[in-house]
Amino acid sequence: MRILVTGANGYLGRGIVKQLLDLGNEVIATDFKDDLIDKRAQIICENLFEVENPYEYFKKPDVLLHLAWRDGFVHNSINHIDDLSNHYKFIKKMIDSKIKQVSVLGSMHEIGFYEGSVNESTPCNPQSLYGISKNALRMAIELECKNNNVIFQWLRGFYIVGNTECGCSIFSKIVQAVKRKEKEFPFTMGINQFDFLDYDTFCKYASDTISQNEINGIINICSGRPEQLSSRVERFIKENNYNIKLNYGAFPDRPYDSKAIWGDDFKIKMIERNK
């Protein structure tokens, strides 16, 4: 397939582009910069929101994978609200041009404060501007796809574990602290339980999902089980032989973070079985 990947130079974009290319897909990769994009892709540096006819401009792709999003780790940035209509308008232009399939990266932050396993029917009550914006985009694009008979996939991500300093996750921040030769890392009490998935596995699951069109709708890209934050971070430090210790209680837990939340992995297991 010919797949347009937006946000291709981002933390997730670079890994997913590589996986899609390894699967034999033709990839059109776009972002503001291209220094981290696999050079096997056809790379176009552009501001998506300024392209009048993106379907034609990006070489008539079969599938849109929309990863582009700024301030994803700054959950109450006003940019989430400011950019929302631009994301909607861009994707709507692609739908109006008769693209066959639209896949968009979502987030467990759409759910809000919830305890237990999350499936596609779990009600959403987001507690941050990031979650509110992602959830609004999901509902709007799902409706557009339904009205235009376009395949819709919403790739709901949970917590991704990667040992790269690129990024703003707690794991990336630990890598950054290690490179600064710091011996302690300020931390919460780490008692919350989340759904963690290794970076390479996440990229593989996302690539496998958009490379098929039989299982659609909201798809949790997840491990399907909860793990305590402190346990996963301690294990991450041990796995990478880092000489750094967690300073427990240096930061309070975020009030909008669920005490225990994880994804129902039924759909992603079906996709992997059907490969």
Pick from 69, 94, 96, 73: which is nearest to 83 by CA?
Answer: 69
Whole-number Å distance between alpha carbons of 20 and 14: 10
Q: Are 107 and 130 in contact (CB under 8 A)?
A: yes
Laid out side by side, the sheet with 101-107 consists of 42-45, 26-31, 2-6, 63-66, 101-107, 151-157, 217-221
**Residue 211 neighbours by CB under 8 Å, 6+ apart:** 1, 20, 23, 25
Tokens of 168: 């703003």
Token pair 């291709």 in the structure block, residue? 8
CA geometry: angle 220, 225, 229, nearest 5 deg: 105
Q: Which residues are catalytic?
A: 130
Packing angle, helices 129-147 and 79-96, rounded to 10: 10
Other beta carbons within 10 angstroms of residue 81's beta carbon come to 14
DSSP H helical segments within the chain, as ranges? 11-22, 54-57, 79-96, 129-147, 170-179, 199-210, 229-239, 266-273
Q: How far apart are CA 48 and CA 86, in angstroms?
A: 9
Contact 79, 71 (CB under 8 A): yes
